């Protein structure tokens, strides 16, 4: 069974960044990622946010498999899945 955090470069991945108040700040869809962190890092680089990434929630969807998970950065700066 594959873990969701390992993607294939051909997977179409949508990253939605949600702000502290629950507002959608940015959304992108792209391919070429090997990990969820790569997808989130690229979205952050392109979003030019005025809020800290630690204050955001990241919804990552593999549109090829219709699997979606939500992530946050913890206090140590590590990406963790929100359950």
Q: What is the pLDDT of residue 81?
A: 93
- 64: tokens are 């090829």
Angle (CA) 83 42 56, round 5°: 40
pTM: 0.89
* pLDDT above 90: percentage of residues in the chain: 78
Asked if pLDDT for residue 50 goes beyond 60, the answer is yes
pLDDT digits (tens, 9 = 90+) for 54-83: 999 999 999 998 899 999 999 999 999 998
């Amino acid at each position: 069974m594959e873990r969701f955090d390992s993607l294939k470069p051909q997977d179409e991945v949508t990253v939605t960044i949600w702000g502290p108040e629950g507002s959608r700040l940015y959304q992108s869809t792209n391919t070429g990622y090997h990990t969820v962190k790569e997808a989130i890092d690229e979205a952050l680089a392109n979003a030019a946010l005025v809020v800290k990434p630690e204050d955001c929630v990241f919804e990552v969807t593999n549109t090829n498999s219709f699997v979606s998970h939500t992530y946050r950065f913890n206090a140590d700066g590590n990406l963790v899945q929100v359950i």
